[in-house]
Amino acid sequence: MKKDKKVSCEESNCSPEDFRKAAEKGEAKAYFNMGVCYQFGKGTRKNSKKAVECYRKAAELGLPDAMLNFGICCCIGEGVERDLKEGEKWLRKADELGCEDAKDALKQLEEAANPTEKEPASSKCKRGKKEIFEVVRDILVEQLGVEPEQVTLKASLTDDLGADSIDLAELVMLFESEVFQTGLPDEEVERLTTVGEIVDYIHRKL
């Protein structure tokens, strides 16, 4: 998914406390911004569980962006127990309210549940690291909106390619459906920070 979604608060030096009073008054955007602060460590330590809880409250108050983030967290098990059914429910609600990124996420879920009969990416990857890199590069170019020449083995997903935690979560979903055809352990995925590390990991596992 290209980086056109709203996943950060407008204030560059914000913290959860900046939005707490408004959240206590039931303002959905305030809860959403608190979630962003906890998710990205803005003005506080990163806390995925608190982030998810804030997204949930904002989603229940009807904010589409919060429905998107909460749905994705449920689908990948970030800050909450993995629950594809619950995640899909919130993604569909966000889609119904016109959230284009939710539509993309639902498409990825459908593709993961119903793989096509074409040659899977995993069979291509068995040919060697060069082919693995090409598969990974194509996914990163499409999802992050970067140029192919930016995707090198030494490129950092966050520092060089600009991926945020939501992008990383969606990339995990794509790698699960298009490369591995199965789930990936969260503790292993969190250690992969560069394109080269991803390529090496896939080469070892396939």
Q: Give catalytic status of residue 164 as yes or no.
A: yes
What is the chain written as a DSSP string? --S-S--S-S-TT--THHHHHHHHTT-HHHHHHHHHHHHHTSSS---HHHHHHHHHHHHHTT-HHHHHHHHHHHHHTSSS---HHHHHHHHHHHHHTT-HHHHHHHHHHHHHHS--SSPPHHHHHTT-HHHHHHHHHHHHHHHH---GGG--TT-BTTTTT---HHHHHHHHHHHIIIIISS---HHHHTT--BHHHHHHHHHHH-
Sequence-distant (6+) residues with CB within 8 A of 115 are 177, 181
Q: Count CB neighbours of 194 within 10 A.
A: 18
Q: Which of 18, 138, 160, 164 is catalytic?
A: 164
Sequence-distant (6+) residues with CB within 8 A of 147 are 141
Q: Which residue's structure tokens are 């449920």? A: 74
Q: What residues act catalytically?
A: 164
